[in-house]
Amino acid sequence: MGAIILHSILRFSHEDYSRATALSNFVPGSKKVDKPLIPDDYYFPKGDTNATLAVDRRANATFVILARNSDINGAVRSVRDIEDRFNRGRGYPYVFLNEEPFSDEFKRCAQR
């Protein structure tokens, strides 16, 4: 669920991300874009004779998770999945939001 929220936020806040993930890019026979969605120098910086990926480029981002106190198991499971599949080594921070103060149990589980 956290990935869907992040995807939605990025689609509305970053025009390049929105174009790159548009459904028309994945539907056969859809309109093709003349220029690349992401410029070549994003991955291969100009003047780089080794042509290695620019892996040090990291988006300025945060995972935002909407969770109630009763959602503790699902929230922990989502964070573990994100860490296992994507965030380990990248270190993006998490922000948890709730309509009421988080319980002590939720806080303990979230800090693990």
| 2 lies in the same domain as 31 | yes
50 and 73, same structural domain? no
Q: pTM for the full model? A: 0.49
Which pLDDT tens digit goes with each residue over 65-107? 999 999 999 999 999 999 999 888 888 999 999 999 999 998 8
Are residue 37 and residue 71 in the same domain, yes or no? no
**pLDDT for 41-57, tens place per residue?**
665 556 655 554 445 56
Position 60 scores a pLDDT of 85
Same domain, 48 and 63: no
In sign, the C-alpha dihedral spanning 83, 84, 85, 91 is positive
Residues 110 and 91 reside in one and the same domain: yes
Q: How does pLDDT run across 15-40, given as a tens digit for each residue?
A: 777 777 776 666 666 555 566 566 66
- Do residues 2 and 35 both lie within one domain? yes
Please give the residue range of the domain that contains residue 2.
1-55
Q: Which of 95, 68, 107, 110 is nearest to 9 (CA)?
A: 95
